[in-house]
Structure 1
């Protein structure tokens, strides 16, 4: 396939042209995939090529600077070279939609990263919209790239997602990428995204949670990732349930959700050091095997998202009563729940509802509005009572089908 090359002006040469009194006169060139125009940007970049409105032929740009207004890539590959700065015009976006083979390859290097930033003289969050990777963009790769000052509602799709990077395809790689100064989220990962490699990314000064991820794709988040702001978190969109098997990786900031469901027959292990904060609702693992694999140094924590937490802020963690399931809960802290909201149809006031076969060790249960542990059959009292219980309103254990509390010896 023929590749169209846009020859760009490096920022140093462009600055020299401006200093020498370049006229800034526009010229145009035509070719397959649309029209490109050269003009002067106001963002300190000198004269930079303007990306065409439509790219439908393989196109390579850089190094140097390039201007982006609103460009749609359809059935073609846009390759951005290391050392390229993309100056985005007000409300601009780059869209790769549903057409198969729509691909963005933006692989910089440590010494020559790729930068998407506002073209404004005084850049600010929300100066531009987004880079949208729709479901036709599965072959896309982003590495050693920075995205700054975006995050306006993204008009590249009718849903208007609010993030600088919007990922709706199972792209090959998002690694060593920095997203900063977004008006809303830094990156939004949709339910069908399934990013195949997501690691070593950095997030700073974003207006909302730096990552908004559909629950279906939470297992695709690799590590480590860096979050510069102490109050940052990962927001889970729990409209769809988690259907996969695998490991829920620890991140440097908490996950936050309004409860969620793990599908029956799924097997998920939550890694040591993971913190999940609930704004309400329950974690419904009915029929699934959900393992909490903490350590003494790094327990798995399930807690309230409220700034001043109290007992009953959320419901429970609920499993099936089936004895053939053996969830393992080791070195976990489960706290500030027990209001019964979403804890099956009966809304049982307990922190944890498990089958009698559950292995529960080295864990802390505290600040429950109801009991700490409920079992639909006999409790493993000898083992379960070795855990730690604090501020439990209705006693540590509730065993069998009655609502009678069972005290620990």
Structure 2
């Protein structure tokens, strides 16, 4: 099936239901290719979604894992997959896509979230990730030397400290970042602002890069156990690793 030249609205909009969508194409909508509220895909695979005015799709954080394989997304600069809400309460995986994920909301991770290598997440000024605030949760972000996972700003011309960062709470033990890059995080004026901020977590960061942080690369409170292995820090305004 081909959906083509829908002039003002998203090509497909779902409200409170789910969809199986395979071997189709969506082109030239006046808004997004797909727009979901709290819905998701039963399956989506082997589709081409391109040349839409805005994002290829908009859907909640809990439904990102329903995006399957073999899809080709092509978007103008500044668009990709828009994550529109953010409570994760069951274990899921966010897969690498041909476009970036765009996050301008708070993502609350209260279960296990795995992010695949080569995934790019771009954050707006209100974008943040909180891990283990109210329930046990683990964030596993393992990239590779040639395919790191990138956490960065969605701004056209970003500067240090334009998005919040990642908060690890005391229910987030065993969270791991390996071969990741953190860019332009650490928004605000607090002395504890950082790309990664820990409140009593036991976590590991290895083989990763911190660049242009508005505060620290990593900030840990007194109850944190932080394993820091083979990481590099560049132009972080308050320093590399801060402690209470």
TM-score normalised to the size of structure 2?
0.89
Separation of aligned partners in 1, 2:99 and 2:109: 25
| Among candidates 210, 216, 221, match of residue 67 of structure 2 | 221
Matched, 1:149 2:5: yes
Residue correspondence of structure 1 range 35-74 to structure 2 within 5 A: none
Kindly state the Cα deviation for residue 357 of structure 1 after the two structures are TM-superposed: 1.9
Matched, 1:349 2:222: no
| Among candidates 230, 236, 243, match of residue 392 of structure 1 | 236
SS at match of 1:262: strand
Separation of aligned partners in 1, 2:194 and 2:44: 36
Separation of aligned partners in 2, 1:347 and 1:247: 33
| 1:328 alignment partner in structure 2 | 176
Residue correspondence of structure 1 range 10-409 to structure 2 within 5 A: 145-152=1-8, 162-168=9-15, 169-171=17-19, 173-191=20-38, 193-229=39-75, 231=77, 232-238=79-85, 240-264=86-110, 266-281=111-126, 282-287=128-133, 288-322=137-171, 325-340=173-188, 348-354=192-198, 355-377=200-222, 383-384=227-228, 386-399=230-243, 402=244
Report if aligned partners of 1:189, 1:217 keep a CA contact under 8 Å in 2: no
Separation of aligned partners in 2, 1:389 and 1:379: 20
Separation of aligned partners in 1, 2:181 and 2:242: 19
Report if aligned partners of 1:151, 1:185 keep a CA contact under 8 Å in 2: no
Kindly state the Cα deviation for residue 356 of structure 1 after the two structures are TM-superposed: 4.9
5+ residue gaps, structure 2, are: none
Separation of aligned partners in 1, 2:116 and 2:241: 26
Report if aligned partners of 2:109, 2:129 keep a CA contact under 8 Å in 1: no
Residue by residue over 1:310-364, the C-alpha shift from the partner in whole angstroms, topping out at 9 and shown as x without a partner, is: 1011111001134x711011110011010149xxxx7941110134520111100
Kindly state the Cα deviation for residue 262 of structure 1 after the two structures are TM-superposed: 2.3
Report if aligned partners of 2:186, 2:193 keep a CA contact under 8 Å in 1: yes
Kindly state the Cα deviation for residue 286 of structure 1 after the two structures are TM-superposed: 3.4
- Aligned-residue CA RMSD (Å): 2.1
The count of aligned residue pairs is: 237
TM-score normalised to the size of structure 1?
0.54
Structure number with the bigger relative contact order (C-alpha 8 A, sep ≥ 6) is: 2
Report if aligned partners of 1:315, 1:337 keep a CA contact under 8 Å in 2: yes
Residue by residue over 1:158-196, the C-alpha shift from the partner in whole angstroms, topping out at 9 and shown as x without a partner, is: xxxx3111123123x2112110010111111221x2312
SS at match of 1:216: helix
Greater C-alpha Rg: 1
Distance 1:333 1:291, change over 3 A: same
Kindly state the Cα deviation for residue 386 of structure 1 after the two structures are TM-superposed: 2.2
Report if aligned partners of 2:75, 2:99 keep a CA contact under 8 Å in 1: no
Report if aligned partners of 1:151, 1:186 keep a CA contact under 8 Å in 2: no
Separation of aligned partners in 2, 1:353 and 1:359: 12
Report if aligned partners of 2:197, 2:218 keep a CA contact under 8 Å in 1: yes
Separation of aligned partners in 1, 2:72 and 2:56: 10
Kindly state the Cα deviation for residue 197 of structure 1 after the two structures are TM-superposed: 1.0
Kindly state the Cα deviation for residue 216 of structure 1 after the two structures are TM-superposed: 2.4
> Where do 4+ consecutive residues of structure 1 move more than 4 Å?
378-381
